Each structure stands twice: as structure tokens, then as C-alpha cells.
Structure 1
Amino acid sequence: MIDRPLQNRTAFITGASSGLGVRFAHLLAGAGAKVALAARRTDRLDAEVAYIRAAGGEAVAIALDVSDAEAIGPAIDRAEAELGPLSILVNNAGVGGDGAALSLPVDRYDQTFDVNVRGVYLAAREAAKRMIDSGVAEAGDARIVNIASIAGLNQLPGLTAYCASKAAVISLTQGLAREWAKRHIAVNAIAPGYIETEINSDWFATDGGRAQIAGFPRRRLMDNDALDQALLLLTGRAARFMTGSVIVVDDGQSL
């Protein structure tokens, strides 16, 4: 018998058109969840939805730019209308924000915080409202997982804005966990190390990127399945007793 620990749960995943977002959508669908894939690039979403449906899962594609505050609530409403009451939010959407502080344009700094911090905060708030109103929270099934980074725990050169944004995600996770503890909403975060994605692939192809990898204790990037078990833990039954946690999965890269 196939184990489907998230059977009939509805999950909403931001930044689901590529990289980790796609991986998360496939993983949660495979665990039985009905998944809403949200991102700006809907052409990519349609292909992933078709893949999940062909495998027997339930999925919908939803156009969403998390920097648009007015769009987040309606996007979640659409997901609930098509898939049922929301019980899992994965705040995965993010941008790089690389650049030295003296030269980083202000609009790039603003975009980093609009997506990486403001978008996380607003999506969590809109999700929490619906989880409370539907009774999902009271039933103990409400899960919010924010994707932070080891950059939120360690200062990395040339990434001051990005590191600050991910540190803010960790702070938001702990603050919302405390605020919503009595509402029975589990709010946790995963802080990944380096996995090759569209955001960083160009860098790791350079001499500097290869030198960075050589400096890691295990001299490698992580595989794209590195976060699977952490995500299943934080979206599943065990997270009834976890809130405000930050799980670091980095292959020792920050040692």
C-alpha cells in the first residue's frame, strides 16, 4: 500500500515554476496532497500541473507575483475553490539580491525585500486567516513552511541584502509561530545550503563558484532532493508539536 500521509490536504506553493518549488509540488502531490502551484510564469506551471495530473494527482496552476499584496488573498481563494480548504502553505518564492552594498541599486534592494520578506509575511497572513476560518487550524492541520537559507544565519560576502532578507524570514517565522501558537498553526522554516537552481547556476559555472564549492567541507552542492524529508516532516503530523523551528539542511556547508 502506498503511504500518502498528506492525503486530501490542500497545499499552496509559491515560486512553483522552477527549482525547489517544482520539487516541492511533486513531493507533496506524491504524498497525497492536492497542490496549487503559484508563480509568475504560468506557461511553466501548466506543464507541471499536467505532469502531476498524469501521475494521478490533483493540481492547479495559479498566476501570482508575491510582491503584489492585493493578489495573494484572491490567489489562495482560487486554490481553495478548486481544491478545498488550505492546510499547507510553502513560502518558497524568492530572488537573489546579490551585489555589493555600495553599488546595489535601491530598486534591486527593494525587490529583494518585497519578494523574500514582504511576500512571505503577506502570504502567511492570508493563509492563516483562511486556516482559522475554515477550522483547519483548530483541527491541528495548519502548516506554514517558510524557505529561509543558511544565508539568514551566516553573513556571505557580496550578499548583504539577500542575507538580511533571509534573516528576516527566520525572525518572521519565529514571531508568527509565537503569535499563532494558541491558534494551533505550526509555523516553521527550512534553511537550506546551496542547491544548484536558476538563481545561482551561472555563478557556480564560474571559477569563483567552483572555488566556493571546493571550500565546502564535502566539496559539493546538495542534490535537489535534499530538503524532501524536512518538508514532509514540517507539513505532516509530527509538526503538531513543532512551531518556530528552523531546520538547517546544508551538508555542513556553513561549518
Structure 2
Amino acid sequence: MEWIIGAALGALASVYVLFILPTQWLKIERVQRPLGLGIKVLQLSDLHVERLRITPRQLARVIASERPDYLFLTGDYTELEHQLLPLDRYLEAVQQSGVPAYAVLGNHDHHLRKLTNLIKLLQSRGIVVLRNEAVQLPGFQLIGIDDFGSGKARVLKAFHSVHAERPRVVITHDPNIVLHLTERYDYLMAGHLHGKQINVPFLYRIRPMGKLPASGIYKGLHHSPQGHYYISKGLGQTGVNARLFVRSEVTVHEL
């Protein structure tokens, strides 16, 4: 009997270490892509607040510790209306940091019955939501492209007011868009793929997520003919609230 109990406890411990701990053990990825802007950006992607094991207090501590110049939120906050209140606790941490914050929407956000409620919530916390539009910031242009996989991306509209001579930084959700962009950019940040989340071989053959991950690109820094791009592994989980060989991530970009 004792060996059965011991085996069961060992199995539970293994499940926790392999599948649960990576969702709680936050990793701060650091990327240096010298564009001469002299700024530090903290990217927050894929909160999926209904399946998020990082607390608002943890998020606030990371922001305070890193002291970024900007916060860029790259989509997928929640797809459930009743999760907007829990989401607001994280957005409050963003607002209280005092760091200028900009956001785009993800595919799960577009599942909301009333997307305007999410947009209003983000805006109420001082977060600028970019929907296929650009803003002029000190030293560079920030271009926000809506979710490609949901058919909401309007690239020509997003780049309409962009100046050719100024550096271009893009935030979007689905990195598959880089295969379709013809506009030049200096740097692009995306999420969506969770670093595979359950990191086993051939996952994207069983669960197709687009041509980019099918080619083996689903996390980290890469290069296209139009510019360099980074895919975050995200904070929260989609589907099952577990990860395998992939930790939750926030990303510090030094540009």
C-alpha cells in the first residue's frame, strides 16, 4: 500500500513539475535589437486571463523592476465577458505603473459578444488601442495591426500615415502576417503561438496554426525580407491550463 501511495504522489509531483510549474515560473526574456532608439519595451502577450496563473502583483513587480519606457500588449486578453473584471486587475497594474501603454487585439478577443466592452476597459486604464493605425512617438512610429487570423488586419490602412524616413515598430497578434507583409518595418512584435505551449514534435501538424509555425517558426527572434520580428511565448494559456517545456514569458526588448 505504501508503495502505491508513494507512486501516486510521485506521479502528481511529476505532473506539477512538468505541466503546472511552467505556467507559474515566469521567465523574463531579453532581446537586444539595436535600432538606435535607446528605449526599453516590455511586451505582454496572450494574458488569457481565464487561464492565467501569474498574479497582478507579480506583473506589477516585474514592471516596477524593469522600468520600461513603453508597455506593448499584443492581444488575447480574454474571450469571456465575465472575465473582464479579473482582467481589469491586471490592467490596473499597467495603469498604476505610469508607463505609456499601447495594445492590439487578438483572435480570442474577437470572440467576445461585445468587443467594445474590452476596448473601453483597456482605454479606461489609459491603454491606447491601435486598430490598423499608427501613432508618432519620440524617435519612431508605432504601427498597430489588428488580428490577421480573424481577418481583421488592414495593412494598407495601418501604414497609411507612416513616414518612410522614420523607424517603424509594429505590434500585432498573429505572426503569420509577416508572410504577407510587403511594407518594410524595423521591428515587429507578436504572440499567439505560446511557444507551442505543449512543446512536443509535430504538434502543428495535428493542430494547424498557419504556415509560419508549420515551417518551424513559433517563438523567438527571426528575420523576414521586410525586417526582424519577435514571437512571444505569452503569459497565459489557451485550451488546457498547462504548459510542457515552455515557461510563461514577458519580454524585454532593448531597441
TM-score exceeds 0.5: no
TM-score, with length taken from structure 2? 0.41
Greater Cα radius of gyration, structure 1 or 2? 2
TM-score, with length taken from structure 1? 0.41
More strand as a share of residues: 2
More helix as a share of residues: 1
| Larger relative contact order (CA 8 Å, sep ≥ 6) | 2
